[in-house]
Amino acid sequence: MTPDQESIRGEVDFVRDMMVNDAASAGAGVRVLHSEPGRATVSMTVRASMVNGHDVTHGGYVFLLADTAFAVACNGYGRATVASGGSITFIAPSRVGDELIAEATERARWGRSGIYDVTVRRDGESIAEFRGNSRELR
């Protein structure tokens, strides 16, 4: 195995191990579809227990999905990285049974900090936009 292959394998193992220990994402049924340094795609099916009093997906679950995509993307370098901030704008509602897909993309990375954008979609339509700020732990 080349040094580059070993590094990629280590990064994949790091994200896998992180997700195995992520009880919040697992409890919501979040699945990692794709992971690479600086990019990730995750999905979640909206369950009846995830809707609010207006019969739409509670914003906290949409945020959780976007935050998980962000976490997978910024931890893809194989170094423990956490959120230093995050914000979300809700564009359209989703409902029970909807499959939500969140795609995270690194926008900037310097030193131990980074900025990531995440789009959450339902059937190809954007329903939320999230921006997360990351910070690598020492």
Give residue-wise pLDDT tens across range 39-51. 999 999 999 999 9
Q: Please state the rounded mean pLDDT for residues 61-72.
A: 98
- Domain region containing 111: 3-136
Q: Please state the rounded mean pLDDT for residues 81-95.
A: 98
The pLDDT of residue 6: 54
Determine the Cα–Cα distance for residues 44 and 31; give it in Å rounded to an integer: 6
Give residue-wise pLDDT tens across range 6-30. 555 567 789 999 999 999 999 999 9
Split into its structural domains, the chain has a count of: 1
Note the pTM of the prediction, 2 decimals: 0.92
Give residue-wise pLDDT tens across range 100-124. 999 999 999 999 999 999 999 999 9
The pLDDT of residue 81: 97
CATH code of the domain in which 32 resides: 3.10.129.10
The pLDDT of residue 11: 73
